[in-house]
Amino acid sequence: MCGIFGAVFVEPGERVDAEAALRAIAYRGPDASKIHRAPGVVLGHNRLAILDLSPGAHQPMFSADRQVVVVFNGEIYNHHELRKELVALGHGFRTRSDTEVIVEGYRAWGDGVVRRLDGMFALGLYDARAERLLLARDRTGKKPLFYARDGGAVRFGSEAKAIVASGVCADMDPDALVSVLAMGYTPPPRSMYRGIAQLPPATFAVAERGGAWREERYWRAPFGEPPLRMDDDEAAAEVRRAFEAAVVRRMEADVPLGAFLSGGIDSTILVSVMAKHATHKVRTFSIGFSGDERFDETRYARAAAQAFGTDHTEFVVEPSSFDLVERLVAMHDGPFGDSSAIPMSIVCMLARRHVTVALGGDGGDELFCGYSRFLAAELEDRIPRAVRTAGGMVERALPDHVRWIGPSSRARRLVRRAARPLPERLLAWTGYFAFELEGLLRPEIQRSSDLTQPAETSRRALHGMDGASVLSRVLAHNFETYLPGDLLVKADRASMMHSLEVRAPFLDTALIELAARLPDATRRRGTTTKWILRHAYRDVLPESILKRPKMGFGVPLGTWLRGDLKPFMLDHLAEGAQIYEWLQPAAVRRLLDEHFGQVADHGHRLWLLLTLQVWLKSLSARAAPRASVEAPATP
């Protein structure tokens, strides 16, 4: 796990501050830092040493003839198999590192090496002989890769801040603001900075001298393909075999390794497999919350730890953890809606005191239908069209409910969404202001922005899925949007800020390709989510965990923001805040009034606005002065 930066096809005299770029992302790789310079080419790397800790495995790494050089962030889990193939083809190796497999793989297979890599990765490879740059990102988007093009020159890095630090002047992209307000994150290809883009997951790009640029998507999860023909026991056996292989491959490391344990189905299964194959006690880490027991899973985690004999550590998050907000916003290079970045960051900090690598359960809910909203999306689709059309009137007659997770609140959201097409309904499930941008953005911002892009992003995620079942389309949409845009970004930034590598066995390629083609009846049975996982591991899971209700990895924002954190929120959204250059003060005032008056729970929305304000404030030194605008009065 590392941080990378590069600038290629740079004109003589063009400023490229590679040292500043690497300093900006130093936490991604504290073990070594190196820069390679050649005419028109600068490549830099911060290393977090995981496999082959010797200096010979440092990057940038060259081929034996020094014509090919790579900087790479991530882990290649099939590097042993690829190495054997390459040795048979006559390639020699100087290290045990997976990085060298990329270099030699490119020499053997050219751009085709990307399709052969199985793991999490973002890489920049320069071929000096052909004068071409290859950029590539892993299938699910676990590792980030940003780039900026200026004429023929290309700069790239693990985070946008590295590109900015290298000498690129970047202002906020107003269209990205539309996306982040609607979805809580900025989907590729945009970033929050104008002129800096994200390479999408499962995509590689080739840049050549003179400005030629080509992008190609090389893989897609097969959710739209015909379901596999197998009975329940066959499906369970295949899932168990594939998952165990995925975990074992991710246990390879030359540094201490542990796991996150929530006590949910996914993390408990993960730890059970690790305990089976480990040569010593597995280190496990969990986190709880003060102020609202509905969000605290520590008792389940303790039960799982006891069942599998792990060396267990837990931590309780207090409202004071909001002190992290400025650092978290800086890590994300912009606002972000997922407040569980707070506990994720803290559990990563806790784990890093003991281990350098942690395995986590990301992807289990996404592959195996773990969210109740997936079932609700199916239910919505069965509502007759006439009833859906009347949904708006019914919704207005239902009472408000204070708790976001309360039953009447869920009923309101279901009926409100029902009249919309499936892509828009799915956007609404995880959105923030998905269909309320006109009432939130200032009129002049609305006129200069494309307010349709969030819905268009949602529609594109379902491209080619017309013949698939509703549940397959729902899972595919989530896999293409929320997983890479929210969950994997959160995991990457929260772990990297503490120099911790996090691996996700549920996002193993073979497991994805199996799970994406399972019949719907194995994904859910009645209202039981993740049925096939429960069935496959019914002899392993403790009864208390097997039958426990689903509990999301969230924080009690509503409770916290009405208590000790009320002054914190009001201070950041006070008069003169930069956020009112973009948003209507009356709209923010309404959210505050309703939240503090317990008319509704807007905790998740207020968190998003808080992170937006913190990020805008960080940009204010580079922004031109603007007239002050009205701000909400203190409730």
Active-site residue numbers?
2
Query: How big is the chain, counted in residues?
Result: 635
Burial label, 618 (beta-carbon count in 10 A; 0-12, 13-18, 19+): middle
Residue 378 has a CB neighbour count (10 Å cut-off) of: 17
263: left (phi > 0), else alpha (psi -120 to 50), else beta? left
Sole residue written with tokens 């499936």: 422
Contact indicator for 259, 313 with CB cutoff of 8 Å:
no
**Residue 473: both structure tokens together:** 């389309």
Residue type, 348: C
| CB within 8 Å of 543: residues ≥ 6 apart | none
- Tell me the C-alpha distance between 527 and 529, whole Å: 6
- Tell me the C-alpha distance between 476 and 374, whole Å: 11
Contact indicator for 138, 121 with CB cutoff of 8 Å:
yes
- Tell me the C-alpha distance between 34 and 22, whole Å: 9
DSSP output for 143-196: S--EEEEETTEEEEESSHHHHHHTT----B-HHHHHHHHHHSS--TTB-SBTT-
Q: By C-alpha distance, which of 264, 249, 262, 212 is closest to 533?
A: 264
- Tell me the C-alpha distance between 123 and 3, whole Å: 10
Phi then psi for residue 135, to 5 deg, are -110, 140
Q: By C-alpha distance, which of 126, 114, 302, 238 is closest to 511?
A: 238
Contact indicator for 532, 368 with CB cutoff of 8 Å:
yes
Contact indicator for 242, 514 with CB cutoff of 8 Å:
yes
